[in-house]
Homo-oligomer: A and B are copies of this chain.
Amino acid sequence: MNTSFSVPEPLPQLMKVAEEVKKASISLGQATNEERCNALINMAKALSDKSSEILEANLIDLERSSDEGLGKSLISRLQLNEAKLQGCIDGVLKVSELSDPVGKRQLHRELDERLILERVTVPLGVLGVIFESRPDALIQIASLAIRSGNGALLKGGSEARETNQAIMQAFVGGLSNSSIGAGALSLLTTRQESLGLLRLDGLVDLIIPRGSNELVRFIQDNTRIPVLGHADGICHLYVDSSVDIDQAINLALDSKIQYPAACNAIETLLIHEDIADLFLQKSLPMFSNAGVILRGDKKSQSLGVENPATDSDWATEYLDLILSIKIVSNFDEAMEHIRKYSSRHTEAIATTDKAVAEKFLSSVDSAGVYHNCSTRFADGFRYGFGAEVGISTQTLPPRGPVGLEGLVTYRYFIRGEGDLSKDFVSGSRTFSHKDLPL
């Protein structure tokens, strides 16, 4: 654990930009649902109108990055083409169709006659977004911010700087044609600014990182602003002794290979010793066929797993077709292992014993805990949220896949007629605390 923040104080120039976005966010926070939706439609239209400029800028970024030797997978994330850009534009329009997260009344209570308490959702204020490579992240997050009534300071990777600037220019044009001004969004361009962003407590309400585990961990370790995201996703599947072996193997395969680079893919398979021999006999050739490299503890090696797992394997998110395997002598040993190594993202159990399944669900403190279901379902779209702002592995809400509701908070409003607390203290008035319709 770091004991000091290694980021510098924000420069006056950044403070000024942040204060302007903060100010604009206050007006934006009062915009109606219709105004915010119209702004998104204008943003989408502007992206269409400026698509050739955006794609040209992207070519410049690609050429420079390729000259600078940027890796193949980063190049592919950086690259836009007409189809991909159209997908992004459709995405902006889809965000405009999501149900409004702002202005939802969560509590409506009469404290006494004509003294009414409400709790209503409101935008957070200003989001700080730091993303790597992918210019589509800029488009997505900017539209989620406007949809939820939040301003945003957006810092993209320098490899995408021309693309990001072209996109932001389109947004500024689009927003200027709407009742919402363009001041609520600002693109940061230097590394100095991205570090300073982490120190903007009081001006920035939430940091959303989109990038590597290292980036997320650095941000979490170097800011006091809440961070919506997760570094590692070390997910487990526990195969109980009472189990439908074929089903369990399919769950293990799907959880590992369907998209191994995803945070909700499993990294470790825990197998009850009573079933381990049978399970491995049947599954080893299937893992092998799927190209999965297995690393096992001593027991599983004695049952045919080829490579040894060291202690560091249990703490590693491979993001690849590698799976560590441990044989446990009972349920409690599986729980112990999960408690020690899980990143509290998503864990699953494969069992036909309902009692064991329910014990697993109530014992494992991860954001998602599943019974006979692939861990790959841990996703905002699959949960039906319509959008995913991020997946949080912290304990406090919001945790797990977070939709638009993660970009709002609430305020308590009281409307009275000159009501004084002393009257309730003296007993001349008493609280009715009567809930009213929401």
Contact = CB atoms under 8 A, between A and B. Distances in A.
Given A4-B3, A411-B365, A425-B258, A420 B251 contact: yes
A258 B422 contact: yes
A399 interface: yes
- Majority secondary structure of chain A interface residues (helix, strand, loop or mixed): mixed
29 contacts: A1-B199, A1-B224, A30-B362, A30-B363, A111-B377, A111-B383, A117-B383, A117-B384, A205-B395, A247-B417, A250-B418, A251-B420, A254-B422, A258-B421, A361-B411, A369-B412, A370-B413, A370-B415, A371-B413, A372-B416, A372-B417, A373-B414, A373-B419, A377-B414, A382-B421, A383-B412, A384-B433, A399-B409, A400-B412
How many copies of this chain sit in the oligomeric assembly? 2
Given A111-B383, A369-B413, A400-B412, 13 more contacts: A1-B199, A29-B365, A115-B373, A117-B384, A206-B395, A367-B412, A368-B413, A370-B415, A371-B416, A372-B415, A373-B418, A384-B431, A399-B410
A297 B234 CA distance: 58
Contacts of A431: 382, 384
A251 B199 contact: no
A291 to B, nearest CB: 15
A29 B335 CA distance: 15
Interface in A355-369: 357, 361-363, 365-369
A3 to B, nearest CB: 5
Nearest to A126: B395
B5 A3 contact: yes
Contacts of A377: 111, 414, 419, 421
A27 to B, nearest CB: 9
Nearest to A8: B3
Interface string A194-231: 00000101000110000000000000000010100000
